[in-house]
Amino acid sequence: MNVLLFLVPMALLLGLSGLAAFLWSLRNGQYDDVQGAALRVLSDEDLKP
Amino acid sequence: MAEALDLSVYVKRQDDGTAHLDLAVEGIDCAACITEIEGGLSHLPGLLAARLNYTTHRLMLQWEGSLDPATFVQELDRLGYRAHPFRARALEEEEARRAQWLLKCLAVAGFASMNIMLLAVSVWSGNVSDISPETRDFFHWLAALISLPAVAYAGQPFFRSAIGALKNGRTNMDVPITIGILLALLMSVIETINHAEHTYFDSVVMLLFFLLCGRYLDQAMRRRTRAVAGNLASLRAEVAHRLDQHGEPTLVPTVALRRNDRVLVRPGERIPVDGIVIAGASEVDESLVTGETSLRSLQEGDTVYAGSFNHAGALTVHVTAAGQGTLLDEVERLLENASAAKSRYRQLADRVARAYAPIVHAAAALTALVWIATGSSVHDAVITAVAVLIITCPCALALAIPVVQVVASGTLFKANVLLNSGDALERLAHIDTIVFDKTGTLTLPEMRVANTAAIEPELLETAARLAMSSHHPLAAAVAREIRSAKPFPGVVEEPGRGVRAIVDNREIRLGSPSFCGAEDLAAIMAGENEQASVIAFSRGEERVVLLVRQALRPDALHTVRALQDLGLDCRILSGDRPAAVGPIAHALGIASWRGGAKPADKIGELKLLMANGKKVLMVGDGLNDAPALASADVSMSPITASDLTQAQADAVFLGDKLAPVLDAITISRRAHALMRQNLVLALVYNLIAVPLAFLGYVTPLVAALAMSGSSSLVTLNALRARGKKVDPMAKASTGPSRLTEIASQGA
């Protein structure tokens, strides 16, 4: 069962990093304009020819 | 626009020297708009950032230097978008903060429940195979380590609400939730210390996750409605001509006006403030204020109210502080009393919670007592009692009502009804009497030509095109007969008489009957229709007289019939003269009506109805209706109503049609039926689960299955509140309703 000593912290760490990523995206204002984000991705204006 | 609009009152200066402005933009309906607007503004010097929020249709601008904010509005106008300065209301910002907070709580609960479930499933499967007690204890400790801080953080919305309720000596649904959560956690920790087989960490965190989902959805729905209402309010935000010391007018937003300013009000404009006339004489239409449709003549020294419509001459108004007028004083005093009475309504959920909490807690106590009496140890008895509490923790019950509310208010949103208060649905479902105001509610807020059928369409169109060049209110009503056309070139306006132009070598005129040589026709028409104003049109030898008056909403008759078919008692209670109310009541088939009612009379009438056990819906728009709206069981007002009135209404409807009133009632009735069904479902679940828990069969696995099962069942049932598609007719209306269609796209 020694594998648990490795697996359990790993699982917790993965979960925590997911939570941290979500909180970062929330603070970053990524949920302020959900519909706009879906449309902005289709715009090519920012591409240099 | 000859005068530039002074927007400086909306500009926020930041510490780093940059300026900030928010605009609500009309006409955003495609993806290309984003780049068009942001790209189209980028050439302005000093502009640091322009970001369009497509969800809320708001444009955030940030710039440095001395850029005039009005240039943005002009530039957007050039691009084909109308923009209005927008200032977030305090309430909306508060809601946005709360939504963020709920989302954070939801994320924490979600993270915790996933990780704990990982551990819990291992323990469940280990319990039936070969898990060693040491490993199990290790997993339980880990689960405790995750869940205790997670619950402490994510449970705050419930803990705060429960403490708030208890402080006020009430109970709500959050009280049993909080007690259940805390007891279950405490017991699980004790069990972990005792090396026991079962803990409930997973159930607690999952419960929290489900409940937060319900809370967040509820919040999101309300916020979307608020955002649309906020945009509409800024589209309506009015401007005024403020006079400086030298008597020069500048165009400023009404919010920038201060007491003792002087304001110029031209004919055809709405008076923006309460004040006293210091120069000029005119006639004003105060129908938005009092419901009275005939004009009041004004002279120097008379008091005017915000919302009145200036018909005849230019007025200079000295701005006084709000609430000095006798009418406003009375309205505000009545409002205070009425609002106090309304807060006594108890929501269905709270009523259920009041009955539910004592029963559940009694059942848990009874369980403990019975187990001890039958010879079990105190430890076993307490554990079973806590299991009863956990299984009855009102997960499904707490979701039963909010989820229906969310779905139903989404449906209402599509039917052009915006709900102001969450419990309005329940109150709407109960009503049996509807009291309508007349002016602006049954009738359209603006005047229309009444005798269009008797006029040749081609002639009417010419008249309407000519009317577009005039600012006179009667001409504006004629101009409303066509939607899209350009005004004739070379139109000459003769002040006080009318407008004329030469088209196809013939002179056309629109104005007073004498101006068009149609006094004889006008005299006949006026004799037949005392309520209407007349305006004449001539083209060469052809002459017609147009009757302009307040027209019924296009579907008023149909809607009132449908409401009566539902068994609702429809009444009219108007501040207008009885002579003006009678014909409308007759046309709509409404038998009981009353005219000339003052604000206090309206309240008296409603009180009388309510004393007779009637549940009354009041629909009104005038300032004089505000106290009546507040004192009725539930109230609605059109979006054209005055701000004070809208603030009192439980729901606001958009567009030219009256159908949203009917939709609101049918949707809320269906929603209420579903709420009750959901409560019964939750109750049946408890009837099955409690005996099992009582007998000690509820393991954490059973609790997890039962809780998620009942919650899903209740949520799925709530989705039925969407019901059938809303009548497509309701969508075809014009004006502001287009906005909601845009806002509701993809929502």
Q: What is the overall mean pLDDT for chain B?
A: 80
Banded pLDDT at B259 (limits 50, 70, 90): confident
Query: What's the fold here for domain B1-87?
Result: Alpha-Beta Plaits (3.30.70)
Q: What is the mean pLDDT of residues B455-484?
A: 78
Tokens 């002009």 -> residue: B74
Q: What is the mean pLDDT of residues B29-58?
A: 83
**A interface mutation test: which of B22, B25, B35, B113 has the most A CBs within 10 A?**
B35
Interval B579-585 mean pLDDT = 84
**Token pair recorded at residue B583:** 């014909």
Is pLDDT above 70 for B42? yes
Model confidence band, residue B452 (pLDDT cutoffs 50, 70, 90):
confident
Give me the helix-helix angle, B174-193 and B378-392, nearest 10°. 140
| pLDDT range class, residue B730, cuts 50, 70, 90 | very low
Q: Domain B445-552 carries which CATH code?
A: 3.40.1110.10
Whether the CB-CB separation of B142 and B199 falls below 8 Å is answered with no
| pLDDT tens digits, B621-639 | 877 788 888 888 888 988 7
CA distance A2 to chain B (A): 11
How much is the average pLDDT of B189-212?
Answer: 88
Q: Which H or E run includes B270?
A: none
Kindly report the three-state secondary structure assignment for every residue of B600-662. HHHHHHHHHHHHCCCCEEEECCCHHHHHHHHHCCEEEEECCCCHHHHHHCCEEECCCCCHHHH
B104 and A23: CB-CB below 8 Å? yes
Beta-carbon separation of A43 and B138 below 8 A: no
Q: What is the CATH number of domain B236-334?
A: 2.70.150.10
pLDDT, greater one: B700 or B411: B411
User: In this predicted model, which residue has the larger pLDDT, B225 or B301?
Assistant: B301
Does any CB of chain B come closer than 8 Å to the CB of residue A3? no
Better-scored residue on pLDDT, B274 or B675: B675
Average pLDDT over residues B144-149: 94
For the cut 70, the answer to whether the pLDDT of residue B21 exceeds it is yes
**B111·A42 Cβ contact <8 A:** no
Give pTM, 2 decimals: 0.73
Tens of pLDDT, residue by residue over B563-572, are: 999 889 999 9
Mean pLDDT of chain A: 83
- Tell me what percent of the residues of chain B surpass a pLDDT of 70: 88
Instruction: Note whether A4 contacts B138, CB cutoff 8 Å.
Output: yes
Is residue B294's pLDDT more than 80? Answer: no
The model's pLDDT over B690-707, given as tens digits with 9 standing for 90+, comes to 888 888 787 778 887 887
Residue that the structure tokens 């567009």 belong to: B655
What are the tokens at B304?
């005017």
Q: Which residues contact B583 (CB under 8 A, 6 or more apart)?
A: B531
Q: What is the pLDDT of residue B331?
A: 63
- Taking the Cβ of residue A35 and every Cβ of chain B, the question of whether any pair is shorter than 8 Å is answered with yes
Q: Which of B119-133, B446-460, B691-705 ranks highest by mean pLDDT?
A: B119-133
pLDDT digits (tens, 9 = 90+) for B77-117: 888 888 888 766 666 778 888 888 999 999 999 999 999 99
DSSP string, B473-489: HHHHHHHTT-SS-PPPS
**DSSP-derived pairing of the beta strands B417-419 and B651-653:** antiparallel
| pLDDT-derived band at A18, boundaries 50, 70, 90 | very high
B79/A contact by beta carbon, under 8 A? no
Q: Give residue limits of the domains in chain B.
A: 1-87, 93-227+346-406+669-731, 236-334, 417-432+555-653, 445-552
For residue B634, what are its two tokens? 């539930």
Give yes or no for residue B738 having a pLDDT over 50: no
B417-432+555-653 has which fold?
A: Rossmann fold (3.40.50)
Helices B659-694 and B556-565 cross at an angle (nearest 10°) of 40
| Residues of B assigned a catalytic role | 437
pLDDT of B685 over the 80 cut: yes
User: Residues B46-80, buried b or exposed e (16+ Cβ, 10 A)?
Assistant: ebeebbbbbbbbbbebbbeeebebbbbbebbeebe
Q: Does A19 touch chain B (CB under 8 A)?
A: yes
Q: Considering only CB atoms, which chain B residues are within 8 Å of A34?
A: 55
A39 touches chain B (CB under 8 A): yes
pLDDT for the residue B291: 67
Residue A35 has its nearest CB partner, among B115, B135, B746, at B746
Of A11, A19, A34, nearest to B107 by CB-CB distance is A19
Q: Are strands B433-436 and B616-619 parallel, antiparallel or unpaired?
A: parallel
Q: Does B121 contact A at CB distance below 8 Å?
A: no
